[in-house]
Amino acid sequence: MKVRFWGVRGSIASPGPSTVRYGGNTTCIELTTDAGHTIIFDAGTGIRPLGLKLLAAEQKKCAVCISHTHWDHIQGLPFFVPLFSADREVHFYGAFDPVYQKDLESILAQQMEYCYFPIRALELKAKLHYHTLHEGARIEFEDAVITNVMMNHPVLTYGYRVDCNGKSVFFSGDHEPPHNIYDSDDTFYGEYDQLIQDKVGRICEVANEVDLFIIDAQYTEPELLQKRGWGHGTFSSALAMARRAKAKKVVFTHHDPSRTDDQLDRIGAKLQAQRRSNDPPMLIAAEGLEIDLG
């Protein structure tokens, strides 16, 4: 399998001179299976250039795994050119929104209503298939198997694992390390802590010993103290989860839109300096980064 990053930014696209090296597009990751099939994690603004590449490819079919439907993870879809070609087939996978009682198709179509976009979803020419997933689903897509697990974010969010011919990738989507809402001396602290451990354990079980662990690391630890509940992790929490999952390589992504290239360089250098001898190799995601898992 091969993985390429087309969008690594969180919250909002942030082009400009201070983000040119790591990139300013929002989340989109391309996975190419051994047989040459395409699985896409999320449809942020990075999916636009990916779509242009796919339009020239021989493969006419792809899967798009939507972690959740916040704007920065779907806003590139109206500009994903394969959707406008009658000879293309796109399978969308994602969650049903239990709060607003909307399925994935309805949510994605809303951002293409005339009040937001000049072309409605009904006018798209590709063959489109929408698959509503429950946690723990097992999907066979061509020569790969996709499984999902619920993450911790203000909207129902799935992380996805892809297995193909003995190699594996896990993508977290957006994830904040669960926080115990009770004081340590409260009666319910221990019970709630067990719920947290069970949830984290479930995620790490799904991601167990993956070859590549791609995880949300939008904040630093001081930033998280100010933005608790916004739904994102830190470099430290991401590394802790990768360690627990026994991942073989870690890539930190979903960079804060205000994070400059130089700041990311410094964070990367600090991570390497503090790296334990048994830690997996660590990379900070940048647009154009390619990883060949063999």
Q: What is the pLDDT of residues 226-268, one digit of tens each?
A: 999 999 999 999 999 999 999 999 999 999 999 999 999 999 9
Q: For residue 36, what pLDDT band results from cuts at 50, 70 and 90? A: very high
What pTM was estimated for this model as a whole? 0.97
Task: Tell me what the pLDDT averaged over the chain comes to.
Answer: 97
Helix (H, G, I), strand (E, B), or coil: what is residue 206? Answer: helix
Share of the chain above pLDDT 90, in %: 98
Share of the chain above pLDDT 70, in %: 100
Token representation of residue 34: 């051994």
**Mean pLDDT of the 133-142 span:** 96
HSE-up (13 A, CA, CB side) for residue 188:
6
pLDDT tens, position by position, 60-110: 999 999 999 999 999 999 999 999 999 999 999 999 999 999 999 999 999
Domain ranges of the chain: 2-289
Q: Is the pLDDT of residue 157 over 90?
A: yes
Q: For residue 164, what pLDDT band results from cuts at 50, 70 and 90? A: very high
Rounded Cα distance, 218 and 224, in Å: 9
Dihedrals phi, psi of 253, to nearest 5 degrees: -145, -170
Q: Of 60, 36, 240, 63, which Cα lies nearest the Cα of 146?
A: 63
Q: Is the pLDDT of residue 58 over 90?
A: no
Rounded Cα distance, 108 and 98, in Å: 16
Beta bridge partners of 253: 216
What amino acid occupies position 284?
I
Largest CA distance in the chain: 62
E strand or H helix that includes residue 270? helix 261-273
Helix (H, G, I), strand (E, B), or coil: what is residue 81? Answer: helix
Looking at CATH, the fold of the domain delimited by 2-289 is given as Metallo-beta-lactamase; Chain A (3.60.15)
Q: Is the pLDDT of residue 294 over 90?
A: no
Q: Of 157, 164, 158, which Cα lies nearest the Cα of 141?
A: 164
Q: How far is CA 118 from CA 12, 47, 78, 84, in A?
A: 22, 19, 10, 13
**Mean pLDDT of the 116-122 span:** 96
